[in-house]
Structure 1
């Protein structure tokens, strides 16, 4: 069953994503049939998941097929990014509780993209990796786009707080790992990234921005903003979304973390089934792919910020 959008959200979906509610059931049926005919592909076919994929590709069926294939291919070929921490195990929840990556609450009024808060400085680089943080993002985003139509229609913004980040964190981001993270988070997940906002950026971190600038398009560069104070964020992100610790009214970080811990618990059976999905590259028609080859292919070289 596909949820009906509010009139306001439906208007955005139509104008920006080419969504036609009368056509969507046929699109979903087509995708389910296509998935069933792919000998190498074991993919989820829930209606809301496929709707999120359709919205992420502006209802281009060919783009959806490419994204779906990539999503499950990376599940198999890049487990260091997608399965390093498994959402059904205690280690995942324990790392989630550090608050390195959380999705902030929905805005109480108006139509606004969802906001993902990244705080890499919260983890010990001697014990964990940036890839662990990406695992958290990977699974929380799946829950978000299934449950929240506003997220799949309006997109997301990234809010990065560099407080506590050291060079030991930075050096974990090798070119090979970053390429895989980009392929997973930006090219395979059904996200419409509406910009990234960076706070408490320490000196010496410029190397990260230089690296990012080599893989993002011009629109992405324009939407990458470094802020001198949290007050500047209030001009871009509603105050009722931002946590109390940052001067907002969106609840405490601890409360937001607890919400997502409950969600992961609620989705345990869903996640158990999710971990069984992926691809069997020995059955793929044509050339077998590896994660390194995927990261080097044309459209996956450059982030596409919508």
Structure 2
């Protein structure tokens, strides 16, 4: 059963995502039928999950088929990100409590893309890897997909704070890891990326940005912004959702962290089932779809919308 959107969200979904409430049930069934006929694919088929995928692809069944296949293929072929720390492992919450990845609250007075705050400098590169951070993001987004209609319709924005990031962090972002990170977070996840914002950039990061931008299409490049300070950031991101540690009026990082810790506990059984999903590449008919993503020298432009 799909949750009914608020009238305001429904209007946006119709205009921007081509959502037709009278057609949704049929679209969902077509997608379920297609999944059932893919011998290699073990995927979720609950309505709320599939409607998010459809919205993320503007109800293009061909696009959503590719996204479903890629999403679960990467679960199998990129476990160094998607299963690096399993969400049911106590170490998952230990790392999460470092505050490396958080979902900021919704503004009270307007609809706005959900904002994800990434703080890579919070983890020790001697004991953790940037892939651990990506794993946090991966599973946070899954919860948003299931329960947050604003995120599914309006999309997301990512704010990355580089304070505390050292060369030891940067060397973990190898070209191979960057390819997988971009593929997982931007090309396979159901939520649309509406912008990326970057603050507190240390010297020497230009090369990393040049490498990342080579993976993106023009729309994604245009939505990437580097801010000189938090004040400039708040010209784009509502001050009321930014935590007070950054001069905003939102809840503290500690409170947000514990809120999402409780969410992970709430979704424990859901995550156990999630860990069992993926693909059996030996049963796939045709070539692996992610070959152009994971092989060096052939990474395709990502489709950001």
Fold shared per TM-score above 0.5: yes
Q: TM-score normalized by structure 1?
A: 0.96
Partner residue in 1 for 2:178: 178
Aligned to 1:65: 65
Residues 292, 299 of structure 2: 8 Å contact kept: no
Contact 1:81/1:134, CA 8 A, preserved across alignment: yes
What residue in structure 1 maps to residue 199 of structure 2?
Answer: 199
Alpha-carbon separation, structure 2, partners of 1:65 and 1:220: 22
Please tell me whether the aligned partners of residues 114 and 157 of structure 1 are also in contact (alpha carbons under 8 angstroms): yes
Alignment match, 1:265: 265
- Separation (CA, whole Å) in 2 of partners of 1:27 and 1:33: 10
Counterpart in the other structure of 1:256: 256
1:73·1:278 contact (CA, 8 Å) conserved in 2? yes
Q: Deviations over 1:108-132 (max 9, x none)?
A: 1211000010100000001000000
Measure, in 2, the Cα distance between the counterparts of 1:11 and 1:286: 40
User: RMSD of the alignment, in Å?
Assistant: 1.6
Unmatched tracts of structure 2, length 5 or more: none
Tell me the CA shift for residue 294 of structure 1.
3.7
Secondary structure at 1:194 match in 2: strand
1:150-169 mapped onto 2 (5 Å cutoff): 150-169=150-169
Structure 2 equivalent of residue 295 of structure 1: 294
Instruction: Write the mapping of 1:224-243 to structure 2, written as runs, cut at 5 A.
Output: 224-243=224-243
| 1:255 to partner: Cα distance | 0.5
Q: Distance in 1 between matches of 2:233 and 2:130?
A: 24
Instruction: Tell me if the contact between 1:155 and 1:191 (Cα under 8 Å) persists in the aligned partners.
Output: yes
Q: Report the Cα distance in structure 2 between the residues aligned to 1:216 and 1:87, rounded to whole angstroms.
A: 29
Gaps of 5+ in 1: none
The answer on whether the counterparts of 1:187 and 1:300 sit within 8 Å (CA) in structure 2 is no
Cα distance change, pair 211–162 in 1 and its aligned pair in 2 (3 A): same
CA distance in 2, matches of 1:256, 1:300: 36
CA separation in 2, counterparts of 1:65 and 1:246?
40
Residue aligning to 2:21:
21
Kindly indicate whether the alpha-carbon contact (under 8 Å) linking 1:78 and 1:291 is maintained by their aligned counterparts in 2. Answer: no
2:258 paired with 1:285: no
Distance, in Å, in 2 between the alignment partners of 1:40 and 1:75 is 13
The 5 Å alignment of 1:128-143 reads: 128-143=128-143
Gap change, CA 1:299 and 1:187, over 3 Å in 2:
farther
Alignment of 1:19-168 (within 5 A): 19-168=19-168
